[in-house]
Every structure is written in C-alpha cells, then in structure tokens.
C-alpha cells in the first residue's frame, strides 16, 4: 500500500493522528473544568441548587468536548444540587421555607437590635440606652433598678436602607410624639428622664428589620430608673384619664408653636398658633364640663374650666393682634392664666402627680403652660 497521504497524517507520516486534547509540550495535564468546580461548591453549600445542577450538566458536556478534567466534580456537584433542589421543593410545599426564612431574619435581628416590647425594662452595656448599646441588652423586672423602659415601637417604611442619620431623625421625631400615649401624665415623669430609641442597623435592615423601639432612660451618668413610668388606660381610672385627655388638647396646641422664638420674626405664624391654642382651650373647658366628676373634684374642675375660659379670651385676642407688641401682651397674659400651678388642686383631688414638670430653662419646676 503506497504511503500517499494518510487520513489525519502529514506527508510521509503513515497513520499519524493528532492528540484529541491538542498539542501540549512536556505532557502538561488538561485543565479542570471551571463549571465543574462551581457546581460542586454550590452543591455542598446547598446554595442556588438549580444553578448548581445546571452547572454540573453543562460541565459534563464541556469535558467531553474539550477533553478537560473534572468529571467527578461535575457529577458530585450535580447530584448534591439535585438533592438540594428536592429539599427546597419539599420545604416550599410544606410551608417550612417561610419558617426557615423567618428564623434567619429573627436571628439577624437578635444580633443587632434586641427584641423588646412595650412595657419591658432592660439594662444596657455601659448603663446608657444609646449609641451601640442596643446590640446586647438584658431584660430585667421594671420593679427594680434598670437602665431603660420601652414605651412604644413602630416600623419604618420598606425600601433601601436610608442611612444612619435618616433613621435617627425619623426615630427622634416619632418617639417624642409617642411618649404621651404611654406616660400620659407628664408630671409623673422625673426630670432626669429623657427619650432614647433603638433603631435598625444596615445589617438587620437587609434581613427585613424595620422596627424602631422608643425607650425612657436616665440622663444622669450612672443613674438608673426604678419602677415603671407607665401611666395610661391600663393603670389610670376613668376620671384620671378624662382629665389627662382634656389636658393633652392644650398641650398639643402649645407644642405647635412656630420655630421662630419672637413674634417680630413671624407674626402671621404666631397669630395662627395663638388661634390653635385658643381653640384647644375652648375644647378643653367643654370636655372638662362634660365629664361626671367625683364629688371631691367637681369644684376644683369647675374653677379650672373658668380659668381656661379667661385664658381663651387672651389667646383669641393675640390671634387678632395688629402688631407684634399687641400679640406679646395678650400672649403673656394668656400664658399666665394656664400656668401648671392652676392645675395642682384638681390633680390632688384626682390622685395625680402634683409637682409641675421643669421648664427647659428652669430647674425649679415652675413650668409654663405645658402639661396642665
């Protein structure tokens, strides 16, 4: 048989066939298929099992075509991924998957913000319920000495994590507005107590945590709280609740004062505020008169309502003032008629706290018109 040109060989090289893996000098080993490695990793971790199975099958096809190594890896990854896919299917079919995810989220939350509910008390590392202390708190009975007491909680809107500053701002605004629902009698809250809050972190937010926890804490370094500060419908009687709800009408209006301190800076805003206060005084007086008070408190309540009527007149005139001087004159007169001292007699008759809260700039506790 003549040499000729053998199939697959070169001139004068009978029967030569090229290596199926291509030319490799020095007998270098074939590479390991990358998809086979990825399939095994995903199969072992049971993470994205459908992807791991697809990688394993694709790896087997590539190995046969390219002559690469990794058949065992691809087969192992495909088998493990198939088992993982079957397990995930079983979890979803039985509803266990939602329980697993819930557990994961709770675990993430417990690693950041403690799980606390309204009315619970706790101790925080370092003794201050602020900064990073909320990562690890110990629940304790409220009857004894403790660092803080939970008075409310709320959830932030869903979406991307807004950042530490935005979360803190939302927590500050909302917690301040929620404290009156738990401690309805502001006079019963010690002056060394302030509002703090526990917020989601970037890590807990990724696990679905949106909850802000509002707490009372001691402002004095090393100081604590003793006993619960709760005074709401769960601990107050009907007459105490009626009085405090009426008082909150005025407090809410007083809290809506303009940002500018002086009427000269925003006369229209201050006049509108005076109108709100006047309306609140009218509603408060009518609310007090509508309630059926115990015999021992009827007279002091009637006297307080009469004083509120006089104050309402001054605030109404302030709302109609032609200039800043006239506004200031009637505003000061109106404030003088709603000082906390006017409510002491009623409070004593109802069994409520009788020591007025301190003003921000007054350590003697004389008060202004707040928490009457």
Tokens representing residue 222 in the block: 């090393």
**Do 81 and 40 meet the contact criterion of CB atoms below 8 Å apart?**
no
User: What is the per-residue burial (b if ≥16 Cβ within 10 Å, else e) of 325-347?
Assistant: eebbebbebbbebbbbebbbbbb
DSSP state of 151: E
Distance (Å, whole) CA 235 – CA 238: 10
Which tops the pLDDT comparison, 88 or 108?
Answer: 88
Closest CA relative to residue 113, chosen from 186, 210, 196:
210
Whole-angstrom CA distances from 123 to 142, 145, 195, 211, 223 are 10, 9, 15, 19, 12
What is the arithmetic mean of pLDDT over 342-364?
Answer: 80
Region 328-355: mean pLDDT is 94
Q: Which residue has the higher pLDDT, 147 or 316?
A: 316
pLDDT digits (tens, 9 = 90+) for 206-259: 888 888 999 999 888 778 899 999 999 999 999 999 999 999 999 999 999 998
Tokens of 367: 């008060």
> Cβ distance 69 to 34 under 8 Å?
no
Whether residue 312 contacts residue 320, with contact meaning beta carbons closer than 8 Å, is answered with no
Q: What is the pLDDT of residues 6-57, one digit of tens each?
A: 444 444 433 333 333 333 444 456 677 777 677 677 666 665 677 767 777 7
What Cα–Cα distance (Å) separates residue 132 from each residue in 184, 197, 200, 208?
29, 11, 11, 20
Which pLDDT score, from 0 to 100, does residue 59 have? Answer: 72
Work out the mean pLDDT of the chain and round it to a whole number: 80
The answer for 8, left when phi > 0, alpha when psi is -120 to 50, beta otherwise, is left
Give which of 359, 363, 315, 357 is closest to 338, Cα–Cα.
315
User: Pairing mode, if any, of strands 225-226 and 121-123?
Assistant: unpaired
Query: So where are the chain's domains?
Result: 30-94, 113-226, 238-350
15: its two tokens: 């029967």
Q: In this structure, what are the phi and psi dihedrals at residue 131, rounded to the nearest 5 degrees?
A: 65, -130
């Amino acid at each position: 048989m003549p040499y000729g040109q053998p199939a697959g060989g070169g001139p004068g090289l009978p029967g030569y066939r090229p290596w199926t893996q291509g030319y490799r000098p020095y007998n270098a080993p074939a590479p390991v298929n990358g998809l086979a490695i990825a399939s095994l990793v995903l199969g072992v971790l049971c993470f994205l099992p459908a992807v791991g199975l697809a990688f394993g099958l694709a790896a087997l096809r590539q190995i046969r075509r390219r002559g690469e190594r990794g058949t065992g890896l691809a087969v192992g990854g495909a088998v493990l991924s198939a088992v993982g896919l079957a397990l995930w299917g079983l979890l979803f079919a039985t509803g266990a998957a939602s329980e697993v995810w819930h557990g994961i989220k709770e675990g993430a939350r417990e690693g950041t913000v403690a799980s606390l509910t309204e009315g619970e008390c706790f101790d925080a590392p370092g003794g201050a319920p602020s900064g990073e202390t909320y990562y690890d708190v110990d629940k304790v009975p409220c009857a004894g000495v403790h660092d803080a007491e939970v008075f409310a909680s709320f959830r932030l809107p869903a979406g991307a994590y807004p950042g530490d500053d935005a979360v803190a701002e939302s927590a500050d605004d909302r917690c301040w507005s929620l404290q009156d629902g738990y401690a309805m009698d502001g006079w019963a809250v010690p002056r060394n107590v302030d509002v703090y809050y526990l917020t989601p972190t970037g890590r807990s937010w990724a696990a679905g945590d949106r909850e802000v926890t509002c707490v009372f804490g001691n402002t004095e370094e090393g100081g604590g709280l003793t006993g619960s500060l709760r005074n709401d419908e769960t601990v107050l009687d009907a007459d105490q609740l009626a009085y405090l709800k009426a008082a909150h009408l005025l407090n809410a209006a007083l809290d809506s004062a303009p940002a500018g301190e002086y009427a000269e800076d925003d006369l229209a805003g201050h006049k509108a505020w005076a109108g709100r206060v006047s309306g609140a005084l009218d509603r408060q007086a009518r609310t007090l008169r509508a309630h059926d008070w115990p015999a021992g408190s009827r007279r002091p309540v009637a006297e307080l309502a009469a004083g509120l009527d006089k104050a309402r007149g001054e605030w109404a005139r302030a709302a109609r003032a032609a200039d800043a001087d006239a506004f200031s004159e009637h505003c000061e007169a109106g404030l003088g008629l709603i000082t906390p001292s006017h409510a002491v007699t009623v409070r004593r008759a109802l069994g409520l706290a009788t020591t007025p809260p301190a003003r921000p700039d007054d350590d003697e506790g004389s008060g202004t018109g707040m928490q009457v």
